[in-house]
Structure 1
Amino acid sequence: MSIDFEALFALSPNPYIVVDRNLDIAWLNDAYSRATMRSREELTGLGIFEAFPSEPGSESHEMLKASFERVLETACADELAFVRYDIPRADGGMERRYWSATHTPLFGSDGQVAHILQHTVDVTELHGLRQLRDEKHVVERARAVQARNRDLAAESQRLKTMYDQAPGFIAIVDGPDHVFTIANNAYRQLTAGRPIIGKTVAEGLPEVVEQGFVDLLDEVYRTGIPYIGRGSRVSLESERTGRFEDRYLDFIYQPILDERGSVVQIFVQGQDVTEQFEAVERQQLLIDELNHRVKNTLAIVQSLATQSFRDPKTFADARLVFEGRLRALAVAHDLLTERSWQPAELSVTVRGTVAAAVGSAIDRVRIDGPSVLLVPHASVSMALAMHELATNAVKYGALSSVSGEIAINWRILDEENGRRLVIEWLESGGPMVSPPVRRGFGTRLIERSFAADKGQSSMEFDPKGLRCRFSLMLPQEPEVGGNN
């Protein structure tokens, strides 16, 4: 049985078209004519891209052209599962259409591809239905995404709050120029609230450039190796005073890498340890000061013992003298300890030392003078000197009689080089005084007590009573008040 295949394809409800090797339309069936809204006479002989023009370089044009070329090159069928290809309307406009096409080679007598049979299916309506389905899914997905976004926004806000309220300072700098992209509240406080976001470190904090911190960032960015700083000193503008102040920081410069392993940002995180650092320094100073004072005290005790026990024939008396001098030293130390070895009030040192030596006879001692603070070593010297004078007064001087009295007074004189404290010890009403046959340790102690403070001393053995005068320079800006 002979079959007329041309008549068969012509009657097929599926659109068919035949093009030659030049892609000129050689034949088409009625279904193709209806699908494209173009007549056979109108299309036959036209090139496929002339009959149905598309923009060269567009996805539609390139996909269709590539499919024809593959058939011609490989002599095998090729399929386009889905391609958008608009067709002209009668009014001159273009109608958007979607197609599924199969290109099958038709061979000539020489065995080469002579024609290509294109079977096309208009899937525009199916595409529309799929869009409706997809749109429904899109709406559902959009709602889900919106819900997730709300959760993410809340979580992001929580993280931002935690980040901003973190006790340590945090910042992120971007790129080789180290541009600030993030800085938390602690970092903004550390940098005096300056507007640094969007600026390079050199622009936002110019004072740290010469301090070497930008060089450290450069090295971390170049090598990808983190840098850890411990107790690093940095001079920064103070938010409180507006002046530059030294701060001590523990911090890390941590590189942030991209997927290729290249450094793109640096994470800066750390703590301001200035208070801890200064506390350690203060502690070390106190230890050093304590060592110094202990050595000085031991030297004083050694000197007191050596002088007190020089003559072994008077051991019992020497022991009493030595114990008295140690008590005076202890009184001075107690007064200074109460003030944490800060400058001590002169009147308190004098009254406490003299009272310890004279006992109930303190009622016959008049003490008067302005309020003056003595540095610790001067207070110790003053206590020892007052003790020597008081014990001598009880043994041999004014307080050895029932009618004797002592007046202790001081004043401050302004001089070119500073302020000088002048102290006078005046005895009266006691036995007649005469100069000692020899100068003992007590006398030498009194005379040398204030030599370290540019001091001077003099003792006058007036027959009516001992007169002793001390003077020493006070430190700059002494604390001076009214009369006692």
Structure 2
Amino acid sequence: MAYLIRSFDWSSTPVGPVERWPASLKTSTSLILQSPIPMVMLWGEEGVMIYNDGYSVIGGHRHPALLGSNVRDAWPEARDFNDHVMRTGLAGKTLAYRDQEFVLHRKGYPERVWLDLDYSPVLDETGTPAGVIAIVIETTERVIAERRNREEFQRLQNLFSQAPTFMVMLSGPEHRFELVNPEYRKLIGPRDVLGLPVADALPEVAEQGFVELLDHVFQSGEAVNRTSQRVLLRRTEGGVLEERFVDFVYQPIREDGGTVTQIFVQGSDVTDRVRAEIHQKLLINELNHRVKNTLASIQSIVTQTLRGVETKEEAAKAISLRIMALSRAHDVLTRENWEGADLRAVVESSLEAFQVAGRDAIRIGGPDLRVGPHAAISLALALHELATNATKYGALSSPSGNVDVSWSVGPHSEFRMSWTETGGPPVTPSDRRGFGSRLILKVLPLELRGVAHIEYAPSGVVFTLDTSLEAVSDKASGAAS
């Protein structure tokens, strides 16, 4: 540029021949030529351009035509900007811009560029501003790189925030929370943990050994995976500890030298899954238990029935009816997931097959009450035996006979169920003790920790069971299973 300036015909410009340049212009020109920083001087009202080698690179294909031209004409796409610069600089003021964006035609096509610009007035011998010196640093590559980094970071932030799993970035040996996504906040509750060490932000977690596990990962550089890990979290301030189950990985993050500087935590809250698995295991165990009990009940029904019958046909019919009674009780309990049943539903299902068409031969009444699975089956089998006997010999064998089934709860949680027959043929006690009699008078009170009584009144059979509300709820101590 020194060579080009010396050989340029300055007499064709407002600046005039070099030999007539004022000392201030020569000094300023010498200053910018010796600077490694891109600089341009805009002299006079026209802003005649004199620049150094650094600025020639910024000029691109417009160099060397820029030399000696008026700045407003040299960069027509930035005319208004440069006009403002000249007016400000010649008024003795400075200007500074950082990452100023322009669209310049440096290569024959419009190009977006970013520049750092510093403008200062150049004073002549009288101290009057005669021109403007500009330091011009192109920052295009840096700006584009930063924008790309920001966009990439924002993209990662969006992925981080929208991830269906919880994610956390911990930094330093104290494991300070650097990044936390919404799923993690959902896990730990509304606590502001950013910037805090894990031990301070989640003290209950530290007490369960998780900080020691983080220390191990940070020091050894080895990742740690856990599946269905139980953790107790105080998800509200002053609240109780809540049990959660999580799958997670602690992944060490290394710098270029290989030193661990951060730990990335990623995982899922699998509490619902784990609890479902636990519940499933309990159900399977319960099912196994109930199947064994059911088989034992059927075995007992078959054995006891065979002792009291004379023909195969009678045995087959009795066994079939009793197993059907057991099945109906199971149906009621299955609808309630074997967590108990409504007593009225148990009674109705047990006696449904014995109702007489066209009239309410069996009347049912009592308060709303839930009974346990064990009590439900025991009562269903007993009611079946009472109804079978009433159909053969009692009130249900007569077109005008009736049965009243009722239950009540006393002031001290006493439970009573009554079976009262009326309108049937006269009944008399029998010396024969079959399966039904043994079931209602011995097995039932034994199973429900109560007392059973049967009376053969002239009007019909009256059967009562007295026990406790606790017993029929399957809560009695030592209740059979």
- Tell me, which stretches of 5 or more residues in structure 2 are unaligned? 1-26, 40-52, 59-113, 116-136, 474-481
The superposition leaves residues 369-415 of structure 1 with CA deviations (integer Å, 9 ceiling, x where unpaired) of 11112222211111101100001001111122233211111111232
Larger radius of gyration: 1
- Give runs of aligned pairs for residues 3-22 of structure 1, distance below 5 A: none
Alpha-carbon deviation of 1:429?
A: 1.9
- Confirm whether residue 333 of structure 1 aligns to residue 333 of structure 2: no
The superposition leaves residues 66-116 of structure 1 with CA deviations (integer Å, 9 ceiling, x where unpaired) of xxxxxxxxxxxxxxxxxxxxxxxxxxxxxxx9xxxxxxxxxxxxxxxxxxx
The superposition leaves residues 343-384 of structure 1 with CA deviations (integer Å, 9 ceiling, x where unpaired) of 222112212211213553862211111111222221111110
Change (3 A) 1:265 1:155: closer
- Give runs of aligned pairs for residues 84-483 of structure 1, distance below 5 A: 126-128=33-35, 131-132=38-39, 133-134=53-54, 137=58, 139=115, 141-238=138-235, 242-310=239-307, 313-360=310-357, 363-415=360-412, 419-447=413-441, 448-475=443-470
The superposition leaves residues 248-276 of structure 1 with CA deviations (integer Å, 9 ceiling, x where unpaired) of 01001111122332222211111111111
- Tell me, which stretches of 5 or more residues in structure 1 are unaligned? 1-96, 98-122, 479-484
Change (3 A) 1:186 1:300: same
Alpha-carbon deviation of 1:242?
A: 4.2
2-structure distance, mates of 1:242, 1:190: 14
Change (3 A) 1:355 1:401: same
The alignment's TM-score, normalised by the length of structure 1, stands at: 0.68
* Conservation of the 8 A alpha-carbon contact between 1:354 and 1:362: no
* Conservation of the 8 A alpha-carbon contact between 1:190 and 1:239: no
Identity of aligned residues (%): 41
What SS does the aligned partner of 1:318 have? helix
Letter in 2 for 1:251: F
Alpha-carbon deviation of 1:328?
A: 0.8
The superposition leaves residues 220-272 of structure 1 with CA deviations (integer Å, 9 ceiling, x where unpaired) of 12211111111000001235994321110100111112233222221111111
- What is the aligned residue count? 355
Letter in 1 for 2:374: H
1-structure distance, mates of 2:257, 2:149: 28
2-structure distance, mates of 1:231, 1:466: 60
The alignment's TM-score, normalised by the length of structure 2, stands at: 0.68
* Conservation of the 8 A alpha-carbon contact between 1:358 and 1:391: no
Change (3 A) 1:477 1:425: closer
2-structure distance, mates of 1:161, 1:128: 45
